[in-house]
Amino acid sequence: MDPDQPSLLQPDDASAGAPPTSPRGSVDPARRTAPIGPLADRMRPRTLEEVVGQERLTAPDAPLRAAIESGQPHSLILWGPPGVGKTTIARAIANTSDASFEQLNAVTDGIKDLRAVIERAEQRQRMGRRTLLFVDEVARWNKAQQDALLPYVESGVVVLVGATTEHPGREINRALMSRLKLYTLDELGEDALREIAERALTDPERGVPTELHDGAAPLELSDEAFEHLLLHAGGDARVLLNGVEAAAALLPDGGCITLELAQQASGSRRLAHDKAGEMHYDLASALIKSIRGSDPDATLYWMARLEAGGEDPAFVARRLVVSASEEVGLAAPGALAVAVAGFEAVKSIGPPECWINLAAVGCYLATCPKSWASYQGWARAKALVAEDPAYPVPPQLRNATTDIDRQAGAGEGYVHPAQGGTDVVEYLPEEIRHQRFLQDAPPSRH
């Protein structure tokens, strides 16, 4: 087998195209050869200079680019949302480093495929040639599969570039992560997406083709259509380019892509959300922090984002129950009952109406006074239990249910509060009677 034979796998990210030739506007209608392949794939940048929106990594003075251009690429992880250029940067690293490029997809490829790549890489290494292995969605591999990479990364058989949309600190083994440098890619902003769309409209070789007949008009994109496609893309260049391509297909004779055509081409707007991924945790965190900060407007916004992303309302209801005790606590003890009632409403009513219940609960919690006294007291008690000896239960607090218990002193000295008050009984072990776990507790509000 030829050691330089590339892996026949699908590309992932698309972030830009050929250098811009003119402002957003027209394409030469006289063009006669239609480009082959999806627009997002055709417009994939071929060099780091063509990558848009990731200047922290690709600028001439950026550490990653400096390392690559020095001829000493290192193994790394590219972490970011879909369609921001992870695969593109990996290919550019391979091109700049004069390394053979191998690609695996952790969703579809396993140990057998990895072994085949390693065999080719070892052949190249014996001939003094370098292999860059790009593993897309590397976090999807299990521990054993990730561990299989370790010896080859350490020995330099491959330079590993892993891409992931999942949090690498949670999904990638510590042993593997310790051998890699982490680079975070930004979600593409409006300016970057605008440049990408303009390139797609004006690139005569790889851009959107016009109809191949005489009289075809130049393709243009109205400002309203442009803004719609940007909004629909959600920071994903591939989605943007797919929208541009689909809209252009509705104008076989060329002309202006209007807002109506852009809406037809893009379909329903998608919101970035993964119920098992990083966006899931970020949105939930934003919701709880908004409640903690007593901001009902932000609470409603982040809850609406969760709902629009298809989040399970039971997950949100559970977070609100926790928030009632953690954030509100003793400042309004009845908040827990309200949150539990909201959780029961979710179970009995279900979506979409149950989101009305959750909105009411969220606003109530956000407008309640806040106290962390019980939450912090619980943390102090847990810390002492973890660090100190397990002190015995004082005799007066032990359960005296049999004669043997009573003969051993169980219950001796205990006085029921209703009969003698609490000042005659010590409830903590003697060794820690000075401890005060609950501090700064507010007056209870009923």
What's the pLDDT at 410?
Answer: 79
Count of other CB atoms within 10 angstroms of residue 59: 15
The sign one gets for the Cα dihedral 148, 154, 160, 164 is positive
Query: CB–CB of 78/185 below 8 Å?
Result: yes
The 10s digit of each residue's pLDDT in 90-129 is: 888 877 777 888 999 998 999 999 999 999 999 999 998 9
The pLDDT of 201-224, averaged and rounded, is: 72
Given a cut of 50, whether residue 45 has pLDDT beyond it is yes
Distance CA 22, CA 19 (A): 9
Cis peptide upstream of residue 151 (ω within 30 degrees of 0):
no
Asked whether residue 64 is domain-assigned, the answer is yes
The pLDDT of 136-157, averaged and rounded, is: 91
pLDDT band at 423 (very low <50, low <70, confident <90, very high): low
Asked whether residue 104 is domain-assigned, the answer is yes
What's the pLDDT at 35?
Answer: 61
Distance CA 65, CA 446 (A): 61
SS (H, E, C) the chain: CCCCCCCCCCCCCCCCCCCCCCCCCCCCCCCCCCCCCCHHHHCCCCCHHHCCCCHHHHCCCCHHHHHHHCCCCCCEEEECCCCCCHHHHHHHHHHHCCCEEEEEECCCCCHHHHHHHHHHHHHHHHCCCCEEEEEECHHHCCHHHHHCCHHHHHCCCCEEEEEECCCHHHHCCHHHHCCCEEEECCCCCHHHHHHHHHHHHHCCCCCCCCCCCCCCCCEEECHHHHHHHHHHHCCCHHHHHHHHHHHHHCCCCCEEECHHHHHHHHCCCCCCCCCCCHHHHHHHHHHHHHHHCCCHHHHHHHHHHHHHCCCCHHHHHHHHHHHHHHHHHHHCCHHHHHHHHHHHHHHHHCCCCHHHHHHHHHHHHHHCCCCCHHHHHHHHHHHHHHHCCCCCCCHHHCCCCCHHHHHCCCCCCCCCHHHHCCCCCCCCCHHHCCCCCCCCCCCCCC
Domain end call among 164, 184, 204: 184
Lowest mean pLDDT among 69-73, 137-141, 220-224: 69-73
Distance CA 148, CA 439 (A): 51
What's the pLDDT at 22?
Answer: 37
Does residue 61 sit in the same domain as residue 176? yes
Domain end call among 132, 163, 184: 184
What's the pLDDT at 99?
Answer: 82
Number of domains the chain is built from:
2
Domain end call among 184, 217, 237: 184
The pLDDT of 198-217, averaged and rounded, is: 71
pLDDT band at 17 (very low <50, low <70, confident <90, very high): very low
Boundaries of domain holding 149: 54-184
What angle do the packed helices 190-202 and 237-249 form, to 10 degrees?
40
Q: Which amino acid is at 124?
A: R
Average pLDDT, the chain: 82
Choose from 176-190, 259-273, 320-334 the range with maximum mean pLDDT.
320-334
Beta bridge partners of 184: 79
CATH number at residue 289: 1.20.272.10
Does residue 179 sit in the same domain as residue 64? yes
Asked whether residue 243 is domain-assigned, the answer is no
Q: Which amino acid is at 196?
A: I
What's the pLDDT at 422?
Answer: 58
The 10s digit of each residue's pLDDT in 400-415 is: 778 787 777 777 778 7
What's the pLDDT at 30?
Answer: 44
What's the pLDDT at 258?
Answer: 86
Both tokens of 104, joined, read: 């695996």
CATH number at residue 140: 3.40.50.300
Asked whether residue 341 is domain-assigned, the answer is yes
Q: Which residue has the higher pLDDT, 94 or 224?
A: 224
Query: CB–CB of 438/377 below 8 Å?
Result: yes
Asked whether residue 60 is domain-assigned, the answer is yes
Asked whether residue 46 is domain-assigned, the answer is no
Asked whether residue 123 is domain-assigned, the answer is yes
Beta bridge partners of 102: 133
Asked whether residue 151 is domain-assigned, the answer is yes
The pLDDT of 268-277, averaged and rounded, is: 53
The sign one gets for the Cα dihedral 284, 286, 287, 292 is positive
The 10s digit of each residue's pLDDT in 282-341 is: 889 999 999 999 999 999 999 999 988 888 899 999 999 999 999 999 999 999 999 999
Query: CB–CB of 321/347 below 8 Å?
Result: no
